Each structure stands twice: as structure tokens, then as C-alpha cells.
Chains A and B, each alone.
Chain A
Amino acid sequence: MTDLLKLSAVHTHIGRYHILQGIDLAVPQGQVTMLLGRNGAGKTTTLRTIMGLWQASRGEITLAGMRIESLATPDIARLGVGYVPESMAVFSDLTVKENLVLAARDGPLDDTQLDWIFGFFPALRRFWLSRAGSLSGGQKQMLSIARAIIEPRKLLLIDEPTKGLAPAIVMALIECLKEIKRKGATILLVEQNFFAARELGDNVLVMDNGTIVHRGEMAALAADVPLQERLLGLSLEAHQ
């Protein structure tokens, strides 16, 4: 399996804080790689650095063999990277339709793709002409993910999509992400919900203090309770 995304010895500073301290990671093509870790470990910073929202101060980032660490965010997005931030960042003043029209950068909305998305998130069809700001938290998350997949992307960077959502919505999101995975998407997914992580992840990276402290298969971590407790301070079983 070739690696679509690689980070080699990446450092990121935010102001005087040294957040990422030499990250090495690889995201294989067509697989879901989970990025786990305690709060403040550097997971969101990793995604933002890949996306160019924070500039790496040292190190190399390659996407499909191309160096991207010095590219601007729009250029990285145009290489086929979709980003779903932790804050969802839907445009509240715009309607659901307008949010998706903006996300479909390369042309008009594709009806087939829209129908596929509506299959998972029927609320988006229903509230098509409503302002995104009037949607509930779960619906905003649906819109945020729909925005990232409205056009084919090489790589999806998704930051804690299940955070703060009701269990029913979490299940719908997991099913959606599974379907995206079945279609061959490559995903780097930050997640605190271990049930979701186990359901979706092929591989896992665990971060602590701005470095990768564990890498391996998700199934192996899911089966190793002592390792979970050592790396994450708690076990998957406790979250089921």
C-alpha cells in the first residue's frame, strides 16, 4: 500500500510555543488512519499544519510525492485535500445550498453526489434553503462533512466529527464515513470517541506532547487494553 501523505520530522511553532516536535507519520492510500491522543497532544495542530493553516517551521510534508509544506492553504485544497475542522466552520449566514455551492469549487453541484449525501443526511435536503446558522449542532456537522465530500477528494482531514453529538447522530456519521471509506477515500481522522475509532480505523497513530508515541493497526490497539491504558490513560472498553 503506497502512502498518500507523509510527514517527516515536522515541527510547528505557534507564537513562542513549540507544538509539533518532529512528527513522522504516513497515511496509506485508501485507508482510514486514526489520530488519537489526549487533549493538547497536538492532533488539531497536525491537521492544520498539513492544511497549511499553520506553517510548519521545519520538516517535510508530501502529498502523493509532492512537497506541500510551503504551499498556501488554497493550493493545498486544490490538490484534492478536504478539511472538516473541529469547529465545523459552516457559514452561518449562508443557506445549506449556498454552503455546498461554495464547496463545489469546480462547477455546479453534481445531482448524483448530492443524492448520495442526502441518503446519509436527509436533514440537509429538508433544510436546503435554510440558513446554516439555524441548524442544530448535529446538522451543522453533517453539512461540514457534506461540504468536504461534495466533490471527489484525494485526502480528507477530519477533526473530531462526533464531538458533542447525540448518539443517533454519531451512528449516522459513522455509517457515512464507512461508506466514504468503501468508496476508496483516504482519511486522516482525529477522534476522541473510541467506539468510532475502532469502527472506522485501519491504522492508528497516538500522539503525546507533540510527537507520535505509537503507530500500528487499529484492530491491534483495540484488542490490547493495557496498551490503551498506557497510551491514552483509559481503555476502549470503558467507552462502550
Chain B
Amino acid sequence: MTDLAATDPLPKPKRDLAPILLPVALALLMIPLIGSTSSWLTLTAASLAMGMMIFIMASGLTLVFGLMDVLNFGHGAFIAVGAYVATLVLAPFAASIQADLLWMNLAVLAPAALLSMAVSGALGLVVERVLILPVYGQHLKQILMTTGGLIVAEQTLYALWGPQIIPMPLPASLRGSFILGDVAIARYRVLAMLIGLTVFIAIQLVLNRTKLGLLIRAGVENREMVEALGYRIRRLFLGVFMTGSALAGLGGVMWALYREQVHASMSDDLTVLIFIVVIIGGLGSIGGCFIGAILVAMVANYGGFLVPKLALVSNILLMVAILMWRPRGLYAVTSR
């Protein structure tokens, strides 16, 4: 075999920029197809906002997949629970939400989001201990257990809140749009982009600048070796699972505000998108998940505008195309 001596220059690792350039190329490609610049900008902003919300919901799931090889089909339950819990805070303070004062709106929204994250995170603890712990390493049973858990969670929400759709109006200060020339960008979408970016940067900082992050990255790659170094990866996984559940809860609140309604099965369609994002991003890759979420949202928005009849299958086609290009996803970090 060939080997480098200490004095030989190490080949510089190539930065894999192709996945990053993909959404940029897709957006640019759409300019002539869409025709109107203002429509293109509006659709692009909508895609970025939707992508950020999907990323928030999917980020925990990709780490859970990558770190412990757990197929959690019940992830959507955290989304719905998060949204319902927010209504507990928002409903009594409806007057503050409808006041056209940003600080007053945020003073209600922030505690609602934090409570949703706390409850979803706590629910994650229960789900991991009760449903997932007994079926580690058994994919079929994981699917059955977590799908069953999702059904139980949905029916519990119906029993507690009733079958009707609960309205969740946007706060008054987040209604309307920023007007730039003849382009209108909804205020709430800008907020969603900012929150999504903040979550992405925070996760990247934790993963790249802390020992905890090192452990997570190492565990995604080879959890057996992390254990052989003396770290109890099950505890680490529980922490990641709870954090992922909490983020799904936050995503649920944001999605409910985006749609301005809450219902128990609100996560059903989202779950498909989230799994597509996790798969095309590469299991366990936060960067891949981020790009995948933007791509999925772009395809949904541009596709819905250009070829509405293809909207339902457009993301499946995207997944097929990406997996034909990179069978283990945009950024493969596990061998699975």
C-alpha cells in the first residue's frame, strides 16, 4: 500500500460544495421559467421560510437516525403536541396577540414557544424510555411502536381538544408584508427564516465547538467506538432525542402560525416531507438536512407554481434524482 511519510504534503481535503450550490442553481434556473422577477422573489422567500421550518422539525430526527439508527415514525406527534400546547398560552392572551405591538406579541409568543418545546422535549423523554428503549436495533418493531405512538398521540389530542380545527391567528405585528419595489415578502416568513437560521447556527456551534458536539458527530459515525472510549452513548442519545423532540415542538408552533390553524393530524403531510429531507440530506448530517429542507421547499413552491399537477409527486421525484446522484444523501456521514 502507499503511505505518506510525515514530510509529504497531505492532500487537502476537498470541500464538497456541489450540494450547497444545488439550491442556488435551482433558484437561478427558475428565473426564466417563472418569468416575473417579483413572483420569483416571492416564491424564493416562501421556499426559504418553509425550508427553515421543515429544517427545524427535521434536524432532531436526522441526528436520531444517524446516532442510534432509530426509525422514529412518531416524530410528527411532537409537532402536533407543540402546536396544541402553544394554544394553551395564546388563547388566554388573544388580546395581546391581536395588539399591533411587536413587543407585546413576542411577550406572548416566546413563552408559548418555550412551553411547547419543554412539553415536546418531556414527551420525547417518555417516548424514548417507553417505546424506543425496548426495540433498539429492531427496525420493524421501531416502525410499529412509533407509528402506534403517533396514533395514540393524535387520538389523545382529539380526546382533549376535540376534533375541530383550532384557529391560530398570526399576531397582528407579523401580519402583512415588507414591500420592496413590486415585491412583497410576508413578515412572518422573514421571522421564520431568522429563527431557522438561528437554530442552524446554534446546532453547528454545538456540534463543532463543544465536546458534546464532538461526541454527537463521532457517535453518528461510529457509536461502538465512542462507547469503547468510555462514553455512555445511550444518555447522549436521550439528550439528542429530547432536543430533537423539543425542536419539533418549536417547528409545530411555527407551522401552525404559518397555516393559522392547529389540528391533531397536522403533521401527517409534514412527516413525509421531513423523511424526504432526512434521506436526501444524508442520515445524521445537519448540513445535508439544512440544504435538503430548502430544496424540498423550493421544489414544492416552484413546482406548485409552474406545474400544479406535479406538486404532489415533485418531492418524491426530487428524492429519486438526489439518490441517483448520491445514493447515501447529499452529505453521507454514516455508513448506513
Contacts and interface: CB of A to CB of B under 8 A. Distances in A.
Given A77-B228, A78-B230, A93 B10 contact: no
Contacts of A85: 225, 228
B11 interface: yes
B221 A93 contact: yes
How many A residues touch the partner, as a band? 35 or more
B6 A123 contact: yes
B333 A93 contact: yes
Given A53-B228, A91-B225, A169 B3 contact: yes
Interface in A83-109: 83, 85, 89, 91-94, 98, 101-103, 105
A42 interface: no
Contacts of A135: 4, 10
B13 A93 contact: no
B251 to A, nearest CB: 26
Contact of B221 (A92, A127, A166, A169): A92
Nearest to A134: B13
A103 B228 CA distance: 10
Contacts of B214: 94, 98, 101-102
Interface in B206-235: 211, 214-215, 217-218, 221-222, 224-233
Nearest to B213: A98
A130 B13 CA distance: 8
B230 A74 contact: yes
B224 A53 contact: yes
Contacts of B140: none
B2 interface: yes
A64 interface: no
Interface string B6-23: 100011110000000000
Nearest to B231: A74
Contacts of B215: 102
A138 interface: yes
A103 B229 contact: yes
Given A102-B218, A136-B3, A77 B211 contact: no
A140 to B, nearest CB: 10
Interface in A126-170: 126-127, 130-131, 133-139, 147, 164-166, 168-169
B324 interface: no
Contacts of A83: 228
Nearest to A130: B10
Contacts of A101: 211, 214
Contacts of A103: 229
Given A91-B221, A101-B211, A136 B4 contact: yes
A47 B222 CA distance: 18
B1 interface: yes
A57 to B, nearest CB: 17
A51 interface: yes
A176 to B, nearest CB: 14
A193 interface: no
Contacts of B4: 123, 135-136, 138-139
Contact of B229 (A72, A98, A102, A165): A102
Given A91-B222, A101-B211, A102-B214, A74 B227 contact: yes
Nearest to B4: A136
A122 interface: yes
A73 interface: yes
B227 A77 contact: yes
Contact of A74 (B11, B221, B232, B333): B232
A77 to B, nearest CB: 4
B10 A134 contact: yes
A130 B9 CA distance: 11
B211 to A, nearest CB: 7
B3 A126 contact: no
Nearest to A137: B1
Contact of A77 (B2, B13, B218, B230): B230
A77 B11 CA distance: 34
A126 B4 CA distance: 12
Given A91-B217, A91-B222, A77 B6 contact: no
A147 B221 contact: no
Contacts of B5: 123, 168
Interface string A197-208: 000000000000
Given A53-B224, A85-B225, A102-B229, 13 more contacts: A53-B228, A91-B221, A92-B221, A101-B214, A102-B226, A105-B229, A105-B231, A122-B6, A126-B10, A133-B13, A135-B10, A139-B3, A168-B5
Interface of B: 1-6, 10-13, 211, 214-215, 217-218, 221-222, 224-233, 333
30 contacts: A51-B228, A53-B228, A73-B228, A74-B227, A74-B231, A78-B230, A85-B225, A85-B228, A89-B222, A89-B224, A89-B228, A91-B218, A91-B222, A93-B217, A94-B221, A102-B218, A102-B231, A105-B229, A105-B230, A123-B4, A123-B6, A127-B10, A130-B10, A133-B13, A134-B12, A134-B13, A136-B2, A136-B3, A136-B4, A166-B1
